[in-house]
Structure 1
Amino acid sequence: MNIGLFTDTYFPQVSGVATSIKTLKEQLEAQGHQVYIFTSTDPKVDEDMVEPHIYRFSSVPFVWFKDRRMTYRGGFQALQIAKDLKLDIVHTQTEFSLGMIGKFVARQMKIPIVHTFHTNYEDYLHYIANGKIIRPGGVAVIARNFMHGMTGIISPSRQTFETLQAYKVEAPVVIIPTGVKIAHAASEDKSAALYDQLGLTPETPIVVSIGRVAFEKNIDAVLSAFAMVLQDVPTAKFIIVGDGPARSALEEHAASLDIKDSVIFVGEIEHDDTYSYYRLGDVFASASTSETQGITFIESITADTPVVAIRSEYMDDLIHDENIGTLVDEPYELVPALVKYLQAKQAGQILGQPDARANLLHQIDEKTFGQGVYDFYQEAIEIYHDDEDDESAEMNNAEYVRSFLHPFRREQND
């Protein structure tokens, strides 16, 4: 099968979406399929660089979200490439520029198109003029109009599935959790070298956070909780891995809490090094409530590092035993949970049932993920029929653009 993945974000940009797409690409290729990435240009990628099976289209930074990019042309070029590649199916991973190009390509080639709804944009509206342009009700209008005409929709979690139902999306929706690599060779674990690099020892109790350092991740709440943790575990260190718009504010927050010497900001790292940082941690901490597929959580679990996080529908499906992690309802409740895991490490104590973690690994395995998506592709191809004429498709696309430009226009009628 020849598969086209259309996405506004891909490596070297660092995000859960980019990781999910890379994992899917690798798993589908392992099954013998040809997978092609249609994505945006990136200043970190030289224009002359040859990237097999990756096609980049002219883009600019998103005006309110500078580390994400928007393609501003390339629809006809993408169509010609897709025809040359004889794509069998289009899989869009964004509701914006490359997503629209993917819809155009599928429409012109008369092939099925599926979409993965990765992001609950209601949690990110503060990036767009501090939430003054698009309101939460407008997100439903935009999402519903974009997904109109899709052959099928992939939801990474039950939580996202229920969001799509609330949005009244008409296309069939299936839940396929994003998977990650669960089998790691011993050579991939370089955590021993990180102790020296960071000035730590194997006896140091370590809380770790890995991911984009953004305000919606609520890392400031974890910092405040960690300040309290130090009263019970004074030798503990909090290692924050990643970069983003909230970093300077978090550094100031750590200083104001007088815990600057106990907090290490590592910055952005190579993706291949993330497993070593998960292994370095005795517990992974998060106060984020914006996760729809929580790749950092499941990556932590594969590294045998328990998770302490805020309860949500997604997390309830994931964490159900102390060996996997602990969920809390409020940020201040992170404190006793973090202390529990750090003190267990110091005492050499195993919490919960190891079998619970082992049973979960199959569900989050990248191979399970890849097979689930391929099975969905087959269903999409079987049920696809071109019952929408070109004029109707163009009218729907125009409606989508209008809903994005005027997101309040129909809220009262929905």
Structure 2
Amino acid sequence: MRILHVLDHSLPAHSGYTFRTRAILKAQAARGWEVAGLSSCRQPDPTGAAEEMVDGLRFFRTAPCPPSPSPIREWREIEALARRLDQVIDQWQPDQLHAHSPVLTALAAMRIARRRKLPLVYEIRAFWEDAAVGNGTDREGSARYRATRMLETYAAKRADAVAVICEGLRADLVARGVDPGKIVVSPNGVDLSLFGDPPPADQALAESLGLAEAEVVGFVGSFYDYEGLDDLIAAMPALIAARPRAKLLLVGGGPMERALHAQATASPVADRIVFVGRVPHQEVERYYGLIDLLAYPRKAMRLTELVTPLKPLEAMAQRRLVAASDVGGHRELIEHNVTGTLFPPDDPPALAAALAALLADRGGWDRRRADARAFVERDRDWASNIARYAPVYGRLTGKTL
């Protein structure tokens, strides 16, 4: 069984998208399936190679596309990916195509799949129109938003099968008229082989950041508006009033970085908020080791209600305490007061109160950590989650898996 994954981008780029892709391909390879990926011309930092091995995985590449204004740029990207896919099919002879959002990959793969008589699974990790709103590049209800939504619905209706990462996306597609019988939920998961017992805190690093004696609330990830980090910074004065040793550690960067720095500088507790910027992937674990409590204060909006994030699962796999806003994507991952804490979104005082209560309940930390890790092992380990694809592939290819 040969499965070709058609991707926006892949390793060696680091993102939640590439880490999910890596986990899927590794787990499928461990089942004895032959897998490869084809990245689009959006691949960051292209080497110019037509094919690469990264972390033991085979990736075919599409040559970069020349700059163009939207929507000409997107249609050129679709054309380039379709041409390259045709070449890779001749070379590698896959049995199954598996395109991963955004919808551009599905539109490119759909055209070739029909002509080459290959089955196509379209996997939606987030609706492209909602991701654009969340990233601040579009607004809900605009002409571009409506056009993108139509394309997503078109692709989902015409793919042979659709995989989604959560129930929120599944329900939305059914409401759009997509046949529920062709939708499979393949939830976000983690490769537990990468997460053993967390290492001890790096005391030298803690001291260098002024965190040696602190109760550390932290966030590690990209600084997008929808992540709600402005609410987290706004909650810090009240949190420190309740927990005088509390400090906030922010690791990462992104579109909101400058605004968040300005907000923190103006805060009456500016000296308790520590930014370290982006750090190399191999160094991230050292910073996780300094954090007592991971906070995920996502704002309430379509994107966060429909889509489950990956970061809380990774934190739970590492036996970290997790607190998150009570939005749909988080509710699919976290059971309140069992595997984590949920607090009202867009409400800094409520956020501060929830964090203070959790920091005060040190006696319950070990139980929560164990319950969270057990949930990931039981329900969100890619080694077992990957079995959800098998009946879909088997039905579409006619092969016994």
- Is the pair's TM-score, using the shorter chain for normalization, greater than 0.5? yes
Give 1:152's match in structure 2, choosing from 153, 161, 172: 161
Query: What CA distance in whole angstroms lies between the structure 2 residues aligned with 1:131 and 1:321?
Result: 30
Partner of 1:198: 209
Name which structure has the greater RCO, CA cutoff 8 Å, separation 6+: 1
Query: What CA distance in whole angstroms lies between the structure 2 residues aligned with 1:132 and 1:62?
Result: 24
Residues 1:3 and 2:14 aligned together: no
- Structure 1-normalised TM-score? 0.81
Give 1:164's match in structure 2, choosing from 170, 173, 176: 173
Where 2:398 maps in the other structure, the secondary structure is helix
Deviation track 1:351-409 (CA, whole Å, cap 9, x = no partner) reads: 755663344122011212222223432233239xxxxxxxxxxxxxxxxxxxxxxxxxx
Partner of 1:117: 124
Partner of 2:308: 293
Partner of 2:381: 365
- Structure 2-normalised TM-score? 0.83
Q: CA deviation at 1:93?
A: 0.7
Query: What CA distance in whole angstroms lies between the structure 1 residues aligned with 2:266 and 2:84?
Result: 52
Query: What CA distance in whole angstroms lies between the structure 2 residues aligned with 1:311 and 1:93?
Result: 27
Partner of 1:23: 23
Where 1:234 maps in the other structure, the secondary structure is coil
| Alpha-carbon contact 1:208-1:283 (below 8 Å) kept | yes
- Matched letter for residue 116 of structure 2: M
| C-alpha distance 134-262 of structure 1, shift in aligned 2 (>3 A) | farther
Where 1:148 maps in the other structure, the secondary structure is helix
Query: What CA distance in whole angstroms lies between the structure 1 residues aligned with 2:33 and 2:374?
Result: 29
| Alpha-carbon contact 2:321-2:365 (below 8 Å) kept | no
Partner of 1:307: 322
Partner of 2:38: 38
Q: Aligned residues, how many?
A: 377
Query: What CA distance in whole angstroms lies between the structure 1 residues aligned with 2:101 and 2:373?
Result: 33
| Alpha-carbon contact 1:179-1:368 (below 8 Å) kept | no
| C-alpha distance 369-61 of structure 1, shift in aligned 2 (>3 A) | farther
Q: CA deviation at 1:188?
A: 7.0
- Matched letter for residue 356 of structure 1: D
| C-alpha distance 349-95 of structure 1, shift in aligned 2 (>3 A) | closer
Structure 2 residue ranges without an equivalent (≥5): none
Query: What CA distance in whole angstroms lies between the structure 1 residues aligned with 2:385 and 2:48?
Result: 32
| Alpha-carbon contact 2:224-2:254 (below 8 Å) kept | yes
| Alpha-carbon contact 2:296-2:323 (below 8 Å) kept | yes
Where 2:162 maps in the other structure, the secondary structure is strand
Q: CA deviation at 1:44?
A: 2.6
What RMSD over aligned residues (CA atoms) do the two structures have, in Å?
3.0
Give 1:328's match in structure 2, choosing from 340, 343, 348: 343
| C-alpha distance 79-139 of structure 1, shift in aligned 2 (>3 A) | closer
Residues 1:356 and 2:353 aligned together: no
Equivalent pairs: percent with the same residue? 20
Q: CA deviation at 1:17?
A: 2.0
Where 1:238 maps in the other structure, the secondary structure is strand
| C-alpha distance 179-62 of structure 1, shift in aligned 2 (>3 A) | farther
| C-alpha distance 160-62 of structure 1, shift in aligned 2 (>3 A) | farther
Q: How does 1:2-401 map to 2 (within 5 A)?
A: 2-41=2-41, 42-48=43-49, 51-52=52-53, 53-57=58-62, 58-59=64-65, 71=77, 73-120=80-127, 121-122=129-130, 124-125=132-133, 127-130=136-139, 133-134=142-143, 138-170=147-179, 172-184=182-194, 189=199, 191-192=201-202, 194-196=205-207, 198-201=209-212, 203-288=213-298, 289=300, 290-291=303-304, 292-330=307-345, 331-332=347-348, 333-345=350-362, 349-350=364-365, 356-361=371-376, 362-382=378-398
Q: CA deviation at 1:242?
A: 1.8
Where 2:361 maps in the other structure, the secondary structure is helix
- Matched letter for residue 211 of structure 2: L
Structure 1 residue ranges without an equivalent (≥5): 384-414
| C-alpha distance 48-314 of structure 1, shift in aligned 2 (>3 A) | closer
- Matched letter for residue 343 of structure 1: A
Query: What CA distance in whole angstroms lies between the structure 2 residues aligned with 1:97 and 1:212?
Result: 23
